[in-house]
Amino acid sequence: MSGRGNWDGMLMIARFNWPFYAMAGGVLLAAILVTGYFPVGGGLVLTGCAYFLLGSLGVSHWVYDCSDLYRWSWLDRALGDSPAGILALCHSGFDEASEMLKRKFPISEWRVLDHYDPATMTEASIRRARRLFPPTSGTVAARFDRWPLVDGSLDVVFGILAIHELRSDAERAAWFAEARRCLKINGRVVLVEHNRDLANFTAFGPGFLHFHSVAAWRRSWKSGGLELNDGFRITPFVRVFVLKKS
């Protein structure tokens, strides 16, 4: 993806998850029609649907279109000087970031690893995203727990809004262990994720259960032999974890 419009992030979220928004829109319309007959119940349903539509899409616009997330200045804190050497981006079927990061770090070598497994990553939104945006040229299919890279070969591993698709602690721990194996001594893992917390519940309702808590992430990276070097937020809804070898 070579460029982003002012509303591209929100529109992609809507396209990938359109059945949920269509359902909410249909219920919203029905609630409008019946509110005159059942003012209390209809009003509650109307309020809930409107909140979901406006709240989740509004937050998506804030995070993906208006925040610093894809402007990348937060990387100055995460990594300091622009890293040279060999960098890797790992994703789970939808790669929105590699082309932008390659422009951000033009003198670095890149490895893009696709961990998508249709047998386990069965959400329809991932399949839609993959159809609309196939893997970029040079992407290598790789199991999350067995990367085709030699030990100690990477300066930075990026996992940006993707590693939560590994649903169990054990799977995520295996991913972190592979990242550790492939990192150089002073290498870093940059993990960017929504979390299962109050802010994301407020924005996405029950959808926040698709994310993982900070405690769950901590268990996984500790099991994988990594420790936290720095952590901070990009908006109240997205956290950055910078990890190093323990």
- Per-domain boundaries in the chain: 8-66, 75-245
Pair of tokens at residue 48: 């809930």
38 or 169, which is more confident: 169
Given a cut of 70, whether residue 93 has pLDDT beyond it is yes
Q: Percent of the chain scored above 70 by pLDDT?
A: 92
**SS3 call for 13:** helix
Strand order in the sheet with 238-245: 140-141, 109-114, 86-91, 154-160, 183-194, 238-245, 226-234
Given a cut of 70, whether residue 12 has pLDDT beyond it is yes
Q: Which of the following CATH numbers is that of domain 75-245: 3.40.50.300, 3.40.50.620, 3.20.10.10, 3.40.50.150?
A: 3.40.50.150
State pLDDT tens for residues 184-239: 999 999 999 999 999 999 999 888 999 999 999 999 999 999 999 999 999 999 99
Question: What pLDDT is attached to residue 131?
Answer: 87
Question: What pLDDT is attached to residue 32?
Answer: 78
Q: Which residues pair with 217 in a beta bridge?
A: none
Given a cut of 80, whether residue 171 has pLDDT beyond it is yes
173-179: average pLDDT: 98
Alpha carbon 204 to its chain's center: 14
Given a cut of 90, whether residue 159 has pLDDT beyond it is yes
Start-to-end C-alpha separation, the chain: 35
Given a cut of 60, whether residue 40 has pLDDT beyond it is no
Given a cut of 90, whether residue 66 has pLDDT beyond it is yes
Question: What pLDDT is attached to residue 59?
Answer: 93
146-162: average pLDDT: 97
